Structure 1
């Protein structure tokens, strides 16, 4: 009888808690893609907007990633998780690590990945070195228990730089034939570059390519990991990046575009030998854009390659000497901007869809593109244009986010000292 009484009390306690908890809160409204934003709901990074959005080429970048209504970001060597109001919880990282670059949520693996660098102590006649490390954080949402590092995988590189001068980036995650996931991490300074591949299931480094700065990982899948029809890759997933020859220096040294096997790091193809200022960006599930300067002139070029190194299209840039920067909208279009020009390319074929300025309209300075919408600014303020047509979708959206999803936008605040702010999507 006593046992029955205890069970009844326990059942009543559960029922009472369930009743008092009430229904789960309704999710915030979502817009795919958003074309309007409300006033800032929180501040992530404080300071001057220009310094925090540090432009690389034509498009600004931020060390921020969105995962639903949760924000992950790096700042001053640390990693944090925040909600849409900017309330943040720091991730305790191993001592001596300097974290940088945008984190990358991997929902299928239940992880958020970030890159860091640290000093490898010297011994005897061996001087101190540098390690590039992938940090795997247990994925969680804002409001849940504080995030923690689940595991790490480090690779020594033949550098002696201070970790604070090293910029890391998680370029992408590929699904390989046997169901494993491989993450690709880059590290760079003004004169050095290296790419590291990590098996997320075995939690170990697969290979290191020193002298290569990866820009894209192609596995024929969309950002959610689903295979895309017509994007099957012969030979498996590939890493595409810019490589300097032995003894080469930074981005303005003679370089070439290379395609590396994701699992082994073996070189599959090369192109654009001798070019300078090369930048590589994912243009679709199986294509990349490569921009740079020709080796025999100062003229800029932009070529769309497939995963096997075949040229899909070479875009006419006229007399431009500054290579454009490109962003895939994670749907069907890649948008590029630079030298006071913006244009859209069909992601599978590289065909030119539209170009601005034209017809009395000016080109926006593109901040990002997502799901058929292009975000940017003109002399009139923020604007959203259609990724397929280049026509205005909203001439006064309220913000020009650098990072965006269906719920939120993150970008520079409205004033010089506003820092980086979160703006909720409203339409």
Structure 2
């Protein structure tokens, strides 16, 4: 009789689970933005933290994108999907492709896209060449059938390099006209750079801008829908640094340019002759442009709108190293460099706060998202409010480089910590 009772309890438990759903399959709580993280749930990339690549100002970068609780990442030229435990499935790619930048989910198109340097086969006396290729994979979640390459489009580049020596990135995706989407991607080496636009719906290359390293794709309008300052801008704009062919980005006289996202036509140019130029998105309709003035070694930082109008110039004092900025995908751009961290209002470029100040140290910023700034100090990881600069959590448990409402991804502890996934807990 006791055995029958146990069996009945087991059957009832299964029936209840069938009716209410398996708690283990329920999505985890979402925190927007997260300010606390638990212990690592998995290792994404093992070994040293060499997978954390620094850009000009030393800000860590990761070839990782988060889509809910799914992780998309590039590693050793490949392109993979993983869950929060780090269990990964590679996307099978044709030979001679090399992915180095973060993939980018495009929910409106049902795709995840990535940029790859690829070989253009030679013929007869013509040697093999190089192309920048957009790879498109059907958007899926961890646990779905294995991801496969849906389609790809390649744009031959007018310079020859080995694919693995080329750094690629998907800068942004813009909506153009009635539901058309255009992806903008870049390829760069120490002496070359190109920007390519691809129509996702038509699956074709729209234009190639050699010598331009795009940094942002803007929609040309403020968050409230009013036209941006300066000349009216209706269509999206690609903003980047134009560097002479063969010149390095650090020392060659360059300029900032705004290109039409559909045609690649140049709409405006600024900061001619400046060096060490970097362009980062500061808001829906603004960018930060940092560099060095041509007449001195002084660094500068200016906020521009989509029409090329200057919103604000930040006083950097005697600094010679240009800062780097990150948009929090809300209302704030957070910048750091020369032992200083500060925040700018995205629409106006107005300075909101600056550290160090009043007995407080400046955090080394790892990223910013939805009003929270993540970074480290001598005391360990910290989360700072993006609008006020005040501490939101002095001991969050992690300083992610990539973050969303469910997960953070960043450097593991120790010399061989690799890249780890940490679940958001608060």
Match of 1:175 in 2: 175
Task: Establish whether residue 286 from structure 1 lines up as the match of residue 282 from structure 2.
Answer: no
| Offset at residue 230 of structure 1 (A) | 3.1
Distance 1:322 1:200 in 2: 38
Distance 2:126 2:82 in 1: 41
Match of 2:313 in 1: 314
What is the correspondence of 1:37-76 to structure 2 with a 5 Å cutoff?
Answer: 37-49=37-49, 51-56=50-55, 57-76=57-76
Aligned in 2, Cα 1:296/1:107: closer, same or farther, shift over 3 Å?
Answer: same
Match of 2:234 in 1: 235
Aligned in 2, Cα 1:86/1:246: closer, same or farther, shift over 3 Å?
Answer: closer
Q: CA RMSD, aligned part only?
A: 1.8
Instruction: Tell me the alpha carbon deviations over residues 157-178 of structure 1, each in whole angstroms, 9 at most, x when there is no partner.
Output: 0111100000100000000123
What is the correspondence of 1:201-240 to structure 2 with a 5 Å cutoff?
Answer: 201-220=201-220, 228-230=224-226, 234-240=233-239
Match of 2:3 in 1: none
Structure 1 unaligned regions, length at least 5: 1-15
Task: Establish whether residue 333 from structure 1 lines up as the match of residue 332 from structure 2.
Answer: yes
Task: Establish whether residue 105 from structure 1 lines up as the match of residue 112 from structure 2.
Answer: no
Aligned in 2, Cα 1:18/1:379: closer, same or farther, shift over 3 Å?
Answer: closer
Match of 1:390 in 2: 389
Moved more, 183-192 or 53-62: 53-62
Task: Establish whether residue 138 from structure 1 lines up as the match of residue 138 from structure 2.
Answer: yes
23, 28, 36: which one pairs with 2:21? Answer: 23
| Offset at residue 221 of structure 1 (A) | 7.6
Aligned to 2:164, what secondary structure does the other structure show? helix
Instruction: Tell me the alpha carbon deviations over residues 352-380 of structure 1, each in whole angstroms, 9 at most, x when there is no partner.
Output: 00000000100000000000000000011
Aligned in 2, Cα 1:312/1:409: closer, same or farther, shift over 3 Å?
Answer: same
| Offset at residue 415 of structure 1 (A) | 1.5
Aligned in 2, Cα 1:18/1:155: closer, same or farther, shift over 3 Å?
Answer: farther
| Offset at residue 93 of structure 1 (A) | 1.1
Distance 2:54 2:39 in 1: 24
Distance 1:308 1:425 in 2: 38
Task: Establish whether residue 410 from structure 1 lines up as the match of residue 409 from structure 2.
Answer: yes
Distance 2:310 2:344 in 1: 14
Paired residues, number: 407
Instruction: Tell me the alpha carbon deviations over residues 58-110 of structure 1, each in whole angstroms, 9 at most, x when there is no partner.
Output: 31100000000000000000000000000000001122111110000001100
Match of 1:3 in 2: none
Instruction: Tell me the alpha carbon deviations over residues 254-293 of structure 1, each in whole angstroms, 9 at most, x when there is no partner.
Output: 1100000000000000001111111100000000000011
| Offset at residue 48 of structure 1 (A) | 1.6
Match of 1:356 in 2: 355
Aligned in 2, Cα 1:425/1:121: closer, same or farther, shift over 3 Å?
Answer: same
Match of 2:90 in 1: 90
Moved more, 414-423 or 121-130: 121-130
Distance 1:18 1:151 in 2: 44
Q: TM-score, normalised by structure 2?
A: 0.92
Distance 1:352 1:250 in 2: 27
Match of 1:127 in 2: 127
Q: TM-score, normalised by structure 1?
A: 0.92
Moved more, 247-256 or 140-149: 247-256
Match of 1:245 in 2: 244
Distance 1:253 1:336 in 2: 24
Distance 2:250 2:298 in 1: 16
Aligned in 2, Cα 1:21/1:161: closer, same or farther, shift over 3 Å?
Answer: farther
| Offset at residue 238 of structure 1 (A) | 0.2
Contact 2:193 2:212 in 1 (8 A): yes
Distance 2:186 2:224 in 1: 26
Distance 2:416 2:248 in 1: 35
Instruction: Tell me the alpha carbon deviations over residues 303-361 of structure 1, each in whole angstroms, 9 at most, x when there is no partner.
Output: 00000000000000001010001000000000000110000000000000000000010
Structure 2 unaligned regions, length at least 5: 1-13
Match of 2:151 in 1: 151
Match of 1:11 in 2: none
| Offset at residue 122 of structure 1 (A) | 2.0
Aligned to 2:27, what secondary structure does the other structure show? coil
